[in-house]
Structure 1
Amino acid sequence: MGGRPAAHGEAGALGPFDLPLASVGTAGITRLIDRLRDIRGALMVDAYLR
């Protein structure tokens, strides 16, 4: 498993597709959508964004 190590009191990534976020904002949503593209493929994800 990759990613950065968890800080004190913070949960780390458990699996290869986990996305640790401190808060959900515009940048977090963008990272989430990019991660979904990695998992499901751009064709499937982009179809829902239309």
Structure 2
Amino acid sequence: MVDAGWMALSRARGTANQQRDFGYRQPCRLDGTPFAGFTVIGANQEHGIIAAEIG
């Protein structure tokens, strides 16, 4: 989980129609470097849900 809800993460699925769908967002470090192998798969008002990619 991440302490950021749908208002912070936005429910806009901007990558849904692209070759790679990153869900609600792609988790990154403070410097903007992506955490490889993880994606935000859901969000509610209070928090987001991050999952490891399988495969």
TM-score by length of 2: 0.27
Considering only CA atoms, is the larger Rg found in Structure 1 or Structure 2? Answer: 1
Identify the structure with the greater strand proportion: 2
Q: Choose between structure 1 and 2 for higher RCO, CA contacts under 8 A separated by at least 6 residues.
A: 2
TM-score by length of 1: 0.28
